[in-house]
Structure 1
Amino acid sequence: MKNIPTGFPSDFLWGGAVAANQLEGAYNVDGKGLSVADINEYLDGIPLDKKSNLELTTDYIKEAIKSEDRIFPKRWGIDFYHTYKEDLKLLGELGLKTFRTSINWTRIFPNGDETQPNEAGLKFYDDLIDEIIANGMEPMITLSHYEMPIHLTTAYKGWYSRDLIDFFVRFGQVVFDRYHKKVKYWIIVNQINLIDHESFNHLGIAEDVVEDLASAKYQGLHHEFVACGLITKYAKSLDPNLQIGMMLCGGPAYPATCRPEDIFATVRRNQMEYFFSDILLRGYYPGYAYRYFTDNNITVEFAEGDEEALKNTADFMSFSYYYTRIYDAESMKNKTGPYRNAELPANPWGWTIDPIGLRTFLNLFYDRYQCPIYITENGIGYHDTLEEDGSIHDSYRVDYYRAHIEQMKEAIKDGVDLRGYYAWGPIDIISCSSSEMSKRYGFIYVDQDDHGNGSKKRLKKDSFSWMQKVIASNGENLD
């Protein structure tokens, strides 16, 4: 009888994850174009999609591009574009074995529809990837992480346009040609299932340019699926040993009660979360999706060759994990999303803390796909206090990570093939959803406020030394 694992594998990848648009800054440097993230406005902590539907229209986009007095923090980030050497040195000192970031599409193709790439943008990522490796970290690169050129939204209706397939594949081919000998691990699209509360950032479809937004989103997703398949095929032609991954945000919801109606409603809801990974890992549209499209009057058009492209499936599954939600029959009837479990504690932004949920998701995903899994984002946002002596005491962050790492270890004992773990925002960056700086995740504090003011000095939080010991012990020392 085979013995169960007793701990993390010896080659387990302890990492940190960021997105180019949330930390690089330098939004108009070296030929970079404007991306969708560059018009994410700071609105006193209110996520863009929650403020007003009008903010996702063509008029909003045009006004944001022209504005000179509104606050768009992702344009300056934490100036990682100029500080990456110092920042990566700190992350190397933390002990990270791997570092995940994205290649900003608009640094390589400023408008997205050019035929020749911007060499200055490629040179930056030459140097960045070399520096990641020099600091002892394995790079994991994301191709699409909310950095679509804004021109592709205004001129082509974002991913709703089939033209985006060719533009994105060209971008992918240029990047793989350049870096496939240096980078083994790749994710083509970040959190591909986010078509609700990050819909515009993800798909770039303004609400006023399509008649049926729901159908437009799924058509855009279809184009993305096809592009993923084509890029995967191309990458494998360069080196069949490259590891190409797909990524979800979160996972299945819990039934709110044990009522059969609530349980089945949750099953139906969860199927359309598995939908994305089912296609990218299995290579075809599942039957339940066609039922969902019929019931909701959604139309998705296939072109010749699309089904063949989908057969180029990913090598590994990855997902971000922040919180869990619950669902019921009433939610399905009213077409509302899953909601917070009031029985669970939460951070100031209402993100519930559920370590056992991480073990649950790991088991559910592995049972379904039987392929390697990476947790490519996990962390907790809090308001940190910088003391007069420069210290930051964040025991709450240590408690959060300890509980989640314990559940990861249990999942490995359950038989889950978990290969790596990426703490989200190992250094403080701009929040994705609300464009705040004050919603902090890092082990490294960046002295900068929501308006971009501050010394920009990097300071180690208490959690830095704790995580350092965790990684050095391969997850055994959690004290």
Structure 2
Amino acid sequence: MGTTILADGLEKKRKIEEEWSSIYLSLTRPDFPPHFTFGVATSAFQVEGAWNEDGKGSSIWDSFAHVPGNICDGSNADVAVDKYHRYKEDIELIAKLGFKAYRFSISWSRIFPDGFGTEINLEGIRHYNNFINALIENDIQPYVTLYHWDLPLNLLNSMGGWLNEQIVKYFAIYAETCFSNFGDRVKNWITINEPLQTAVNGYCTGVYAPGKCGNSSSEMYLVAHHQLLAHAEAVSIYKNKYKDKQGGEIGLVVDCEWSEALSDSIEDRNAATRRLDFQLGWYLDPIYYGDYPETMREKLGDSLPHFSERDKELLNNSIDFVGLNHYTTRFVRHAKTDLEDNDFYRVQEADRIAEWEGGEMIGEKAASSWLYIVPWGLRKVLNYICTRYNNPPVYVTENGMDDEDDSTSPFHERLDNKLRVSYYKGYLAAVHQAIKDGCDVRGYFAWSLMDNFEWHLGYTKRFGLIYVDYRNGLTRHLKSSAYWFLRFLKDEQGKNGKLD
């Protein structure tokens, strides 16, 4: 039996590599649709700093990062990379590189310091108005995320945050305030970024704020449920009151690591499908099909909340586009108990594996332990979304890789990140192929514009196209990957910037 499985695995490896080698083409910018959006992305907490300036209230991540032991290098994001004060410089760099879109998030507690919406912080409104105006002046379209994990701390302390269904009302108040103040210029809205990460890492593993760990596993599913309801309520407000007048679109960002069945056995294929249900299906099935995936219902029973008829009505097709954050791929095989010791993975009965059956790694490894470079996985997940959800418009809202922070190597070596260039070449080729397959992919955002505070990893990992010198005044320096994008995006005739 073991020999047969190994043979199947090696044959799968041969087929995938043979197919991928045939599509890794020399692409140029003109090979993508004329109106295809190329952008870069950041989030407020990771880059803004100014954590308690100009009337801003504390967020759960401000509190979490200030607790010793929560951030691996003992750092915090009080200053981060100081985008709050240096945004004009950073916008000039975006324009210089040739990107026409910038995905960023608004800090909820900078708009409403208490989270409830009782008193608007006019300094926060002023800042984002100035920021959005500066983008447009530089011919860069804003793609605005309303919630990228930084919940106002007062909402957690006073009412339990995402565990309390009342948060849906407060998120709706915050969302409408943003629509009314910024929607005349913002035409692309995202309600919530990666709700899975808030639910699982915030309420199961505890490595993200608010750091809940070891509690009832039902909490993470309740948090996810309330995020979906908050999304639907905000979309309803936008579509009923603002969309016709402002002419924008609104979507949700989900994250998905592609799950490739380790073998062609029914057990492994079913395990890979279950894994996808617990990633994409958890959030997209209620929107497109009215309920959580059947596999989740079977595995979780009463731990999984139910939708009312009103909930289903609001959720029904409540997105103009799907935002997909994708970084890496794993093989999956059926297993009664998962090797990872937490409820979220164990219940899926799916082992996640980073090796081919012959022992070779699935792809070259980036700095983070979870991130392997597997471009063909992005093509597969885009096709999966296309097939399962009737080909909705999709933006790849995050895609990138990290390096270790290394202050000992020569400075020019830290800027010459050849592996990141290779990463982007491969993954952009995968996007191009998915478009050829018939997927309605409309844009691609590189993560990230610049090195920044990488959540519980602090400043130990660098995802940026732009190097931020943390030890010398936060000066910005273009990496080789930034120069590669500059050549690629400004090549309108297809003569330079090839992906070969």
| TM-score above 0.5, yes or no | yes
Q: TM-score range by the shorter chain?
A: 0.7 to 0.9
In structure 2, give the amino acid aligned to 1:458. Answer: R
User: Which residue of 26, 29, 32 maps to 1:8?
Assistant: 32
What is the aligned partner in structure 1 of residue 475 from structure 2? 457
What is the aligned partner in structure 2 of residue 31 from structure 1? 55
Q: Does 1:341 align with 2:354?
A: yes
Q: Does 1:309 align with 2:314?
A: yes
What is the aligned partner in structure 1 of residue 380 from structure 2? 360
The verdict on how the C-alpha distance between 1:47 and 1:373 changes in structure 2, with shifts beyond 3 A counting, is: farther
User: Which residue of 471, 475, 478 maps to 2:489?
Assistant: 471
Are 2:243 and 2:249, in contact at CA under 8 Å, matched by a contact in 1? no
In structure 1, give the amino acid aligned to 2:366. Answer: N
Q: Does 1:162 align with 2:165?
A: yes
User: Which residue of 388, 394, 414 maps to 2:417?
Assistant: 394
Are 2:176 and 2:237, in contact at CA under 8 Å, matched by a contact in 1? yes
1:386-414 Cα offsets, whole Å, 9 max, x none, are: 74579821111111111111111111111
Are 2:335 and 2:351, in contact at CA under 8 Å, matched by a contact in 1? no
Count matched residues.
Answer: 444
Q: Does 1:292 align with 2:314?
A: no
Please state how far the C-alpha of 1:301 moved relative to its aligned partner. Answer: 5.2
What is the aligned partner in structure 1 of residue 249 from structure 2? 243
In structure 2, give the amino acid aligned to 1:269. Answer: R
What is the aligned partner in structure 2 of residue 89 from structure 1? 92
Query: TM-score under structure 1 normalisation?
Result: 0.85
Please state how far the C-alpha of 1:339 moved relative to its aligned partner. Answer: 2.7
Q: How does 1:71-90 map to 2 (within 5 A)?
A: 71-90=74-93
Distance (whole Å) between structure 1 residues aligned to residue 208 and residue 121 of structure 2: 23
User: Which residue of 431, 434, 453 maps to 2:457?
Assistant: 434
In structure 2, give the amino acid aligned to 1:341. Answer: A
* SS state at 1:423 partner: strand
Distance (whole Å) between structure 2 residues aligned to residue 196 and residue 72 of structure 1: 23
In structure 2, give the amino acid aligned to 1:339. Answer: R
Structure 1 stretch displaced more, 11-20 or 279-288: 279-288
The verdict on how the C-alpha distance between 1:464 and 1:30 changes in structure 2, with shifts beyond 3 A counting, is: same
- Structure 2: give runs of 5+ residues left out of the alignment: 1-28, 339-345, 356-360
What is the aligned partner in structure 2 of residue 375 from structure 1? 396
Distance (whole Å) between structure 2 residues aligned to residue 126 and residue 357 of structure 1: 38
- Structure 1: give runs of 5+ residues left out of the alignment: 52-69
Are 1:25 and 1:74, in contact at CA under 8 Å, matched by a contact in 2? yes
Distance (whole Å) between structure 2 residues aligned to residue 40 and residue 390 of structure 1: 34
Query: TM-score under structure 2 normalisation?
Result: 0.82
* SS state at 2:474 partner: coil
Using the aligned pairs only, state the percent identity. Answer: 30
What is the aligned partner in structure 2 of residue 66 from structure 1? none
Q: CA RMSD in A?
A: 2.7
The verdict on how the C-alpha distance between 1:233 and 1:283 changes in structure 2, with shifts beyond 3 A counting, is: farther
The verdict on how the C-alpha distance between 1:403 and 1:197 changes in structure 2, with shifts beyond 3 A counting, is: same
The verdict on how the C-alpha distance between 1:415 and 1:433 changes in structure 2, with shifts beyond 3 A counting, is: farther
What is the aligned partner in structure 1 of residue 20 from structure 2? none
In structure 2, give the amino acid aligned to 1:29. Answer: E
The verdict on how the C-alpha distance between 1:216 and 1:454 changes in structure 2, with shifts beyond 3 A counting, is: same
Please state how far the C-alpha of 1:47 moved relative to its aligned partner. Answer: 7.4
The verdict on how the C-alpha distance between 1:389 and 1:473 changes in structure 2, with shifts beyond 3 A counting, is: closer
Please state how far the C-alpha of 1:478 moved relative to its aligned partner. Answer: 2.4
User: Which residue of 85, 99, 108 maps to 2:111?
Assistant: 108
* SS state at 1:99 partner: strand
Q: Does 1:328 align with 2:361?
A: no
Are 2:386 and 2:440, in contact at CA under 8 Å, matched by a contact in 1? yes
User: Which residue of 426, 429, 445 maps to 1:403?
Assistant: 426
Please state how far the C-alpha of 1:140 moved relative to its aligned partner. Answer: 0.3
1:153-206 Cα offsets, whole Å, 9 max, x none, are: 222112110111111111001011111111111110101222323546878474
User: Which residue of 276, 280, 284 maps to 2:287?
Assistant: 280
* SS state at 1:181 partner: coil
The verdict on how the C-alpha distance between 1:281 and 1:85 changes in structure 2, with shifts beyond 3 A counting, is: farther
Structure 1 stretch displaced more, 72-81 or 8-17: 72-81
In structure 2, give the amino acid aligned to 1:239. Answer: K
Please state how far the C-alpha of 1:360 moved relative to its aligned partner. Answer: 0.8
User: Which residue of 113, 117, 122 maps to 2:120?
Assistant: 117
Distance (whole Å) between structure 1 residues aligned to residue 383 and residue 187 of structure 2: 26
* SS state at 1:197 partner: helix
Distance (whole Å) between structure 1 residues aligned to residue 106 and residue 30 of structure 2: 37
Are 2:232 and 2:318, in contact at CA under 8 Å, matched by a contact in 1? yes
Distance (whole Å) between structure 2 residues aligned to residue 325 and residue 339 of structure 1: 6
What is the aligned partner in structure 1 of residue 267 from structure 2? 261
* SS state at 2:335 partner: helix
